[in-house]
Each structure stands twice: as structure tokens, then as C-alpha cells.
């Protein structure tokens, strides 16, 4: 039996126990996990050093090494993350619907755990704890497959979490770490129907593509964000400028940052030069359509492919459009359906945009950077779904549950 089959089997058995635990029992286990991480932070940092040294020897980039690195402050933040999960309401057992049929059947629809959740991610050791904490709180066992460059850190973290769980009613088997660095372990995991109930990929585009294209287990797709902001003719210039600059530069590396600014030609004639200067002052390279370059001679001419690119960087496409429809056509063609924004003082135009643009989150007069579990008030999130099934947008604990119909009868049979 392979490592992944064996560990998924253990997770499946643990999930049957988890399903029966109370909210207090789960919260107590999460607190033990947080305490244990704090108590063993030196061990974890030592294991993390092994990963960092290996990474440096292999010429890993400084930004990837930074994502991988742990220090006392980061471990404290991870432990506090678990304590935030304790504060979140437990979705399991919530009654979503309840009704009686004419034949007397009492039908109740309740939230239940999904069962066993697979998480495939890259070299961020904090995901190991965040994902485990969220899955456990929603009553699920979790099978973690992190990037091999973080293996020493992840192995130590999971060892610490297991020791914490051994003092709780929650079975240690509820958290499984796949240690094989072999790519075939991922391939096998993607096809474990019946053992895994869902796989959530967290990471870059190529990781997500691989999971979506090869999984037979249901997947929740997350993360891809080619987000647009459309500045309408009637936009208030200072507001448009503040929103555009914020959506681009407040944190360019994340999925809800803006990649393309669409500007109404009449607004552009009066205000684009000033707006572009503000972006330039923030360090943004502008790639403009032909009309943009006429107004902003220092802009780089945009290629068609630029509009289909998620830069996650200080680069922004600007395209001028004559109408709302032209803006929406462009969005419909290039959007990844994550977050889209219109800046306008015209309510009718705003309402058309909000209704017709197909995305997880559509904004009127606010930065796309708000698409986030914390900003929406959901607490911690497991990711931002960019698909339409099951969950769309920031996913809090309810996204990690399914439902079940419980039917009470007194002998009803079907006629």
C-alpha cells in the first residue's frame, strides 16, 4: 500500500470520530495545538533552518526563501491564527432548512463535515497549520501535501500537532502529512475518489492547473486573479485615482490586486495623465493601448497577451474604452471572474455593471483588494474560490462543510 493510500485511509477513519465531537472538544484541541507550537518553537525553527539551508544551496530565490522562513514572530502569528479559528462559530449541525411534508415526514437539512479534505500547496509552512486548523474546526480530517522544499519544517510542525492531539479527544490521525517528494504522490492523491471528498489547491497557476486538469476527486479551484477596474466618465477623479492606486500597489503580489485599468475616453482626456503619474510615482510600469500611449507617451505599448496576464507585480495594463459595454466586453473576455470594480457616480451604470459582470465579487466605488475572508468578516479563510460550484469568493468555515437530509418518519412508505 502506498504512503498516500495508507494515510488517506487513516484520515478517513479519523473523520468518523471527528464527526461526533462537540465544538468545545474541537476548540480545546485547537488550543492545545497553538500551545504546542509555542512550546516547540525552537525545534520548529531548527527544522526550518534545514529547509532554508537546502534551499540556499539549491539557489532558491530570496522571495521564495522568505515565504519558507519561520521565526519566533511568525510562529506566534501562526499560533494566534489557530486561536482566531477557535473564536469562529462552528458550522457543523447548523439547521439550514426544516419542513414537514403532507405525509408527515419531518425533513431537516443540516450542515455536516465534508469528511476528508486534501490540500496541495507550496513552500509556505504556515499553510500546514492554517489548513489543518480550519479543516478540523469544521469536523474534517485533512491530508496535507506541501512543497518538498518545506518538508523538514512541515514534518516537525505535524509532529508537534500530533503530540498536542494525543492529549485531546481528537484523533491524531486527523492530520496526515504526505512526505514523499515524488510527483507521483500528487498524481495518486488527485485520483483517490472515495478516500478524499475534495482537494483544494493553494499556490501558483501551474500548481492549480495541474490539480484541475488531473484530479478525479472534486476540486475547489482558487486563486487566479486577473482583476479589472473600470473608471466611468462620471467617476469622481480623486476617488478613481485612490481606488486604482490602491488596487494596484497596496499588495501587487496577491490575487485580488488589479491587472488592467479600463478608462472611459472622456474621463481619460481630462484625468488620465494625472492618474498615470500617481501610478508611476508608486513604481508602476504602464502598458497601454494605442489610445493610452497617445495620452501617456512614456507608457509601453501593450501586447494582446498582456491583457491575459496575471502580473502579480508593479505592472498595469491601461485600455481606453468608449462605453460601459466595451468595458464589460473586455472584462468578459479576459477576466478570471475573481473581482471586478466600477468607479462611477452614475447609479444606473453601476447597477448594470454589478448585475452583468460575472465574477465572485463585483465592486462599486471600492478597491478590489477587499476580496478576502478577513475583510468580509468571515475570519480566517481557506482560499478564494474562483469557480462557481459549492463556494464562490472568500471561503470561510461553511465552505468546508456539506449537508445531509435527516428524515424522521413513523412508518411512511411510498405509494
Residue (63 or 410) nearer to its own copies, CB: 410
Instruction: Report in angstroms how near the CB of residue 105 gets to its own copies at its nearest.
Output: 6
Task: Please state, as a whole number, how many other Cβ atoms lie within 10 Å of the Cβ of residue 96.
Answer: 12
Quick one: DSSP state of residue 174?
A: G
Instruction: Report in angstroms how near the CB of residue 91 gets to its own copies at its nearest.
Output: 14
Instruction: Report in angstroms how near the CB of residue 195 gets to its own copies at its nearest.
Output: 13
Residue (55 or 373) nearer to its own copies, CB: 373
Contact 266, 240 (CB under 8 A): no
Instruction: Report in angstroms how near the CB of residue 346 gets to its own copies at its nearest.
Output: 14
Residue (9 or 293) nearer to its own copies, CB: 9
Instruction: Report in angstroms how near the CB of residue 213 gets to its own copies at its nearest.
Output: 5
Residue (59 or 377) nearer to its own copies, CB: 377
Euclidean distance between the first and final Cα of the chain, in Å?
48
Quick one: DSSP state of residue 381?
A: -
- The footprint of its own copies (CB under 8 A) covers 16, 19-20, 99, 101, 105, 107, 112, 114-115, 193, 197-198, 212-213, 216, 218-220, 236, 239, 242-243, 245-247, 250, 332, 354-356, 358-367, 369-371, 375-377, 387-390, 392-393, 402-414
Residue (314 or 370) nearer to its own copies, CB: 370
Question: Residue 387: CA atoms inside 13 Å, Cβ hemisphere, count?
Answer: 15
Taking phi first (over 0 means left), then psi (-120 to 50 degrees means alpha), and beta for anything else, what does residue 407 get? beta
Contact 111, 398 (CB under 8 A): yes
Instruction: Report in angstroms how near the CB of residue 52 gets to its own copies at its nearest.
Output: 31
Question: Residue 272: CA atoms inside 13 Å, Cβ hemisphere, count?
Answer: 29
57 three-state secondary structure: helix
Residue (96 or 167) nearer to its own copies, CB: 96
Contact 234, 346 (CB under 8 A): yes
Contact 293, 367 (CB under 8 A): no
Residue (71 or 193) nearer to its own copies, CB: 193
Instruction: Report in angstroms how near the CB of residue 211 gets to its own copies at its nearest.
Output: 10
Instruction: Report in angstroms how near the CB of residue 356 gets to its own copies at its nearest.
Output: 7
Quote the CA–CA distance of 298 and 117 in Å, as a whole number.
49
Residue (40 or 271) nearer to its own copies, CB: 271
Angle at 184 between CA 63 and CA 48, to 5 degrees: 35
Contact 344, 263 (CB under 8 A): no
Amino acid at each position: 500500500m502506498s504512503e498516500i493510500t495508507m494515510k488517506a485511509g487513516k484520515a478517513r477513519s479519523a473523520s468518523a470520530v471527528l464527526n461526533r465531537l462537540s465544538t468545545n472538544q474541537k476548540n480545546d484541541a485547537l488550543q492545545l495545538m497553538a500551545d504546542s507550537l509555542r512550546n516547540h518553537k525552537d525545534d520548529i525553527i531548527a527544522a526550518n533552518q534545514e529547509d532554508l539551508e537546502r534551499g540556499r544551496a539549491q539557489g532558491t530565490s530570496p522571495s521564495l526563501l522568505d515565504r519558507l522562513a519561520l521565526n519566533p514572530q511568525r510562529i506566534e502569528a501562526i499560533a494566534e491564527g489557530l486561536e482566531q479559528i477557535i473564536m469562529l462559530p462552528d458550522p457543523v449541525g447548523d439547521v439550514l432548512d426544516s419542513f414537514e411534508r403532507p405525509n408527515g415526514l419531518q425533513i431537516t437539512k443540516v450542515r455536516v463535515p465534508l469528511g476528508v479534505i486534501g490540500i496541495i500547496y507550496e513552500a509556505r509552512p504556515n499553510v500546514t497549520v492554517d489548513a489543518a486548523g480550519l479543516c478540523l474546526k469544521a469536523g474534517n480530517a485533512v491530508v496535507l501535501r506541501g512543497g518538498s522544499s518545506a518538508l523538514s519544517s512541515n514534518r516537525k510542525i505535524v509532529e508537534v500537532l500530533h503530540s498536542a492531539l494525543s492529549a485531546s479527544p481528537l484523533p491524531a490521525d486527523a492530520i496526515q502529512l504526505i512526505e514523499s517528494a515524488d510527483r507521483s504522490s500528487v498524481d495518486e492523491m488527485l485520483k483517490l475518489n472515495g478516500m478524499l471528498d475534495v482537494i483544494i489547491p493553494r499556490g501558483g497557476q501551474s500548481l492549480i492547473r495541474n490539480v484541475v486538469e488531473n484530479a478525479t476527486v472534486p476540486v475547489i479551484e482558487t486563486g487566479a486573479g486577473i482583476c479589472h477596474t473600470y473608471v466611468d466618465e462620471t467617476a469622481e477623479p480623486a476617488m478613481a485615482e485612490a481606488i486604482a492606486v490602491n488596487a494596484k500597489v497596496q499588495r501587487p503580489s496577491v490575487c485580488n490586486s488589479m491587472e488592467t485599468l479600463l478608462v472611459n475616453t472622456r474621463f481619460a482626456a481630462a484625468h488620465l495623465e494625472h492618474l498615470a503619474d500617481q501610478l508611476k510615482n508608486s513604481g508602476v510600469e504602464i502598458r497601454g493601448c494605442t489610445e493610452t500611449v497617445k495620452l501617456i507617451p512614456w507608457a509601453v505599448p501593450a501586447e494582446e497577451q498582456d491583457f491575459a496576464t496575471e502580473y502579480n507585480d508593479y505592472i498595469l495594463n491601461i485600455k481606453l474604452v468608449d462605453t460601459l459595454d466595451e468595458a464589460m466586453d473586455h472584462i468578459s473576455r479576459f477576466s478570471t471572474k475573481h473581482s471586478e470594480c466600477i468607479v462611477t457616480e452614475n447609479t444606473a451604470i453601476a447597477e448594470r455593471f454589478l448585475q452583468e459582470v460575472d465574477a465572485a465579487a463585483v465592486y462599486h466605488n471600492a478597491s478590489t483588494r477587499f476580496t478576502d475572508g478577513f475583510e468580509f468578516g468571515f475570519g480566517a479563510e481557506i482560499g478564494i474560490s474562483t469557480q462557481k460550484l459549492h463556494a464562490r469568493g472568500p471561503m470561510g468555515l461553511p465552505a468546508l462543510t456539506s449537508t445531509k437530509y435527516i428524515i424522521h418518519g413513523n412508518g411512511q412508505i411510498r405509494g
